[in-house]
Amino acid sequence: MNNNKLKITFLGGVGEIGKNMTAFEYNNEIILVDAGLTFPSDDLPGVDIVIPDITYLLENKDKIKAILITHGHEDHIGALPFVLKHLNVPVYGSRLSIALVENKLKEHPNVKFKGIAVKPKNVLKIGEFIIEFIKVSHSIAGSLALSITTPVGTVVHTGDFKIDYEPIDGTMTDLTRFAEIGRKGVNLLLCESTNVCRKGFSMSERSVGRALEEIIKDHAEQRIIVATFASNIHRMQQILDLAEKYKRKVAFTGRSMVNVSEVAMKIGELSFNRQNIIDIEKVDKLDDKEVLIMTTGSQGEPMSALTRMAAGEFKNLKLKSNDLVILSASPIPGNEKNVYNVINAIYKQGADVIYDELADVHTSGHACQEELKLIHSLVKPKHFIPIHGEYRHLKTHKELAMTLGMDERNIILPSIGMQVEVGPNSIRQSGFVTAGQRLVDGMGIGDMDSNVLRERKQLSEDGICVVCVNINNIAGEITSDPIIITRGVVYADEQESFVQDAKVSIIASLKEADLRGVEPAVIKQSLRRNISNFIFRRTKRRPMILTIVTLD
């Protein structure tokens, strides 16, 4: 690489939502921004989480000097336990971000972690990089943008942000600092694109608080259950304040809700009267009008507290006709079906539901078009790379930048694994590195082409058939009836006739062959071919076939 070029490598978070990770490299030094995860789609059965492929980082581990965290959402910190197993480098982030990482790493006791909390306006020098942290509003406290000064100029990385003119913590996105940095000259802007397709401005978080207050006032006699993102500390703070104002005791339920509330309170990001908090087991001892329950499950997650309540399977709480459930969140793309299934199930339990289509009970933490235009206008970058979004988001953001006067030649649409070289007055795609997805499954980590995943997909789609046969290897005869076990291949009323016909087919095929002295592997192969053909003729399915041959 030329000594006067900055190399940027996109390992996640472009062309997709989630698993954000970007490496900045100058000479022999690399700083990494974010290390996030995403959750598996339906075509990844049994997979717990998906993290970036960090092959490039492992190949250059001696160059990596630090990891910078923009904020504490899982899509920005979730891969850290797996990255830090291999990289012993300091991690910089806001106090809340570092506290959330520390809490996460309790489940990974062998991972070394040196977390260093920073504040907005702090400046950090790491080799050739000078990093300044800038306050931004988002749906989690402690969110930061980055100004990264390098020998080829300044790079601004917005992280996830919105412009909230009524922020709950009283400090809005530092537009003044963005403008000051813009006046000094910015070579490259990397700006998030999640809500670029939405016109106008995002709604203020305080507006959600006002809507929630109206609902609580109007349903004064009902027991209230609020489902929201556990990481949204400002939403949680407003709900706690409203509960105290309207003399309701608060019960937390859901592991992440309990964990995050404890972490946030410990570091002063969340304040509440402990006397007002009760255990979920005690809510039935109070009148309905004296109770507010905060829970996880706003995305219809299968094992979440709210989903189990809706199914009548939550041991500590049964929904009833005097309950009001508020989903203070909107469905993340892909979760719509799960969310509406939960809403329907809550109604079936007799409770009332209010969600984002009925009232302003949620606002996004991401900038809409007018907010993005404002950042572009303040920063005035020479070059631009849209990040944090699917391809449609990145393409729309490129077009938005061009309407503001940016030359198309100065914009690059990134993809996973792409490397971009930035000079003082130039930007170009320089190649690709090994990148993509790694699948975390229990204690194992695999890739998209793993045999485990292929076998699970086959099992989920076509089932499994196990065939057991005993053979006298000397006489070359079957010594007992074959045993056939199927799961997910045929329906119950077809099972008996299917097994009988399969046995007839197997016995007939084996009698045609000379089995004397034949190796078990050869017999297994013949069995597998026979039963596979039989099942396909019968069902038009291709299940997994397991054959067991024992020799007498």
Q: Which helix (H) or strand (E) holds 326?
A: strand 323-327
SS3 of 22, please? strand
Give mean pLDDT, residues 282-303: 92
% of the chain residues with pLDDT over 70? 97
Does 60 share its domain with 75? yes
pLDDT at 3: 61
- Of 399, 416, 446, the one marking the end of a domain is 446
Does 400 share its domain with 511? no
List pLDDT tens digits, range 409-420.
Answer: 999 999 999 999
Task: Give the count of beta carbons closer than 10 Å to the beta carbon of residue 283.
Answer: 21
Give mean pLDDT, residues 146-155: 98
Does 31 share its domain with 153? yes
Residue 257 domain-assigned (yes or no): yes
Indicate the number of domains in the chain: 3
pLDDT at 1: 42
CA distance 37 to 50: 6
Give mean pLDDT, residues 179-194: 98
Residue 458 domain-assigned (yes or no): no
* Residue 448 identity: M
Residue 429 domain-assigned (yes or no): yes
DSSP annotation string for 23-80: EEEETTEEEEE----B---TTSTT--EEEE--HHHHHTGGGEEEEE-S--SHHHHTTH
Give mean pLDDT, residues 38-65: 87
Residue 393 sits in a domain whose CATH number is: 3.60.15.10
* Residue 523 identity: I
Does 169 share its domain with 240? no
- Of 299, 326, 354, the one marking the end of a domain is 354
Give mean pLDDT, residues 449-456: 74
Which residues fall within 8 angstroms of residue 204, CB to CB, at 6 or more apart?
Answer: 164, 165, 166, 167, 363
% of the chain residues with pLDDT over 90? 73
Q: Model pTM?
A: 0.86
Does 139 share its domain with 53? yes
SS3 of 522, please? helix
SS3 of 213, please? helix
Does 311 share its domain with 401? no
Least confident span in 139-153, 203-217, 247-261, 504-518: 504-518
Give mean pLDDT, residues 376-402: 97
Strands (E) located in 389-456? 418-423, 426-432, 437-441, 444-446
pLDDT at 189: 98
Residue 290 sits in a domain whose CATH number is: 3.40.50.10710
Residue 476 sits in a domain whose CATH number is: 3.10.20.580
Does 220 share its domain with 274? yes
Give yes or no for a contact between 498 and 538, defined as CB atoms under 8 angstroms apart: yes
Residue 453 domain-assigned (yes or no): no
Does 396 share its domain with 425? yes
Residue 452 domain-assigned (yes or no): no
List pLDDT tens digits, range 8-31.
Answer: 999 999 999 999 999 999 999 999
Q: Helix, strand, coil shares of the chain as percentages rounded to 5? A: 35, 25, 40
Q: In what order do the strands lie in the sheet with 91-93?
A: 115-117, 91-93, 64-68, 29-33, 21-26, 6-12, 418-423, 426-432
Q: Is the pLDDT of residue 454 over 60?
A: yes
Q: How confident is the model at residue 98 (pLDDT cuts 50, 70, 90)?
A: very high
Residue 454 domain-assigned (yes or no): no
Least confident span in 207-221, 286-300, 356-370, 458-472: 458-472
Residue 455 domain-assigned (yes or no): no
The position carrying tokens 């907010």 is 371
Give yes or no for a contact between 191 and 397, defined as CB atoms under 8 angstroms apart: yes
Which DSSP state fits 417?
Answer: T
Does 181 share its domain with 309? no
Torsion of Cα atoms, 160 then 163 then 168 then 171, to 10°: 100
pLDDT at 332: 78
Does 271 share its domain with 387? no
Does 405 share its domain with 499? no
- Of 316, 331, 354, the one marking the end of a domain is 354
Residue 451 domain-assigned (yes or no): no
pLDDT at 442: 67
Phi, psi of 3, rounded to the nearest 5 degrees:
-65, -20
What range defines the domain where residue 255 resides? 205-354
Does 304 share its domain with 394? no
* Residue 211 identity: A
* Residue 38 identity: T
Find the radius of gyration of the CA atoms of the chain: 29
